[in-house]
Amino acid sequence: MGLALRGPEVEAYVKDELYRGGSSPDAVVRRLLEGRRTRPGRDRRELERLVMSLWHRVKKEYDPGQDRTAGRYRFQALWILDGNLRWLRRLDQRGLDPDVLEPQLGLLLARLMAVVTQMLVTLNQGDTRELEQSTNLDRLLDAMAAASYRIREAIEKRMVELRPELEGRLAETVH
């Protein structure tokens, strides 16, 4: 299950690196590759070019003073996204697809990740008056993190229930 990266997502990772005091576009590339499946060579080179391009533009314009609130929320949103991506990669490595295991929950997790990704587009704009006055975003991100955990937990539980059937399927694909 490959997950495509778009410019606004990569920009969020670049801004998060700067927000956390980092100074390495290579760290951004490593973080983006963690939890994502890519084809060797070409995919990585394209990602490195995109990160370098965004790095130079964003670093030139980045003002930590104008990113205190958005940066904190962006960090939380990326933490949710990264956790879900790492979990999905672990399933991939085992040859499992959450949509097959539990279609409704797999779809719900995909939608939740899409909402987090859309949120990053807004957070990339930096601090705004509305964002600084928002008290609901903390609660929303906490709820999204908890929902992600519960969804993954329910799918894992279903995997345990289906273990004999899944092991049979995996054995068939090996032979």
Q: Decide if pLDDT at 102 tops 60.
A: yes
Global pTM? 0.85
**Span 126-160, pLDDT tens digits:** 888 888 777 789 899 999 999 999 999 998 888 88
113 vs 1, higher pLDDT: 113
Give ∠ CA 63-66-19 in degrees, rounded to 5.
60
Contact 98, 157 (CB under 8 A): no
- How far is the C-alpha of 160 from the C-alpha of 80, rounded, in Å? 24
Q: Where are the domains of the chain?
A: 7-174
Alpha carbon 2 to its chain's center: 12
Averaged confidence pLDDT in the chain? 85
Number of residues that make up the chain: 175
Contact 148, 83 (CB under 8 A): yes
> Counting beta carbons within 10 angstroms of the beta carbon of residue 51, is it exposed (0 to 12), middle (13 to 18) or buried (19 or more)?
buried
**Span 63-100, pLDDT tens digits:** 999 999 999 999 999 999 999 999 988 888 877 777 67
Contact 36, 113 (CB under 8 A): no
Give the SS3 label for residue 12.
Answer: helix
